[in-house]
C-alpha cells in the first residue's frame, strides 16, 4: 500500500508543477487552427476521421484527398512550431550545436 501512496503523491506533485500558462497557450493555438476551418469543413473532417477509425487506408482515394486538404488547411507544421516556442518560453534560447 505504501507504494500506491508514493505513486499518487508523486503524481500530485507532477500536476502541481505543470506549466499552466503553456498549457493554456497550447489550447489557444489549437483552437485558433480549428476555427480556421469553416463549420462545414470541421464537421466533414470529424466525419472522415470517424469513418476511417483514424486509419486513412480505410477511406476511398477521394476521401483521402479531402482529408489531406483539410489537414493541410489546419497547418499542423505551423502549430508544432508555435507549440515548440511555447515550450521554450520567452526568455529561453535554443542551444546551437557547434559540430
pLDDT for 76 equals 87
pTM, to two decimals: 0.62
- List the domain boundaries for the chain: 2-87
Over residues 12-41, the mean pLDDT reads: 84
Q: Is pLDDT above 60 for 5?
A: no
Spatial separation of the C-alpha atoms in residues 88 and 21, rounded to whole Å: 12
Beta-carbon contacts of 88 under 8 Å, excluding residues fewer than 6 positions away, are: 94
Q: In this predicted structure, which of 20-24, 30-34, 49-53, 63-67 has the lowest mean pLDDT?
A: 20-24
pLDDT for 12 equals 67
Q: Is pLDDT above 70 for 98?
A: no
C-alpha cell at 82: 508555435
Amino acid at each position: 500500500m505504501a507504494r500506491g501512496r508514493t505513486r499518487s503523491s508523486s503524481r500530485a506533485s507532477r500536476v502541481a508543477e505543470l506549466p499552466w500558462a503553456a498549457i493554456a497557450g497550447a489550447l489557444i493555438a489549437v483552437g485558433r487552427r480549428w476555427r480556421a476551418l469553416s463549420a462545414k469543413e470541421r464537421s466533414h473532417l470529424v466525419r472522415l476521421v470517424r469513418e476511417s477509425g483514424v486509419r486513412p487506408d480505410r477511406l476511398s482515394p477521394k476521401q483521402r484527398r479531402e482529408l489531406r486538404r483539410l489537414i493541410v488547411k489546419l497547418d499542423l507544421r505551423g502549430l508544432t512550431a508555435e507549440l515548440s516556442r511555447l515550450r521554450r518560453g520567452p526568455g529561453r534560447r535554443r542551444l546551437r550545436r557547434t559540430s
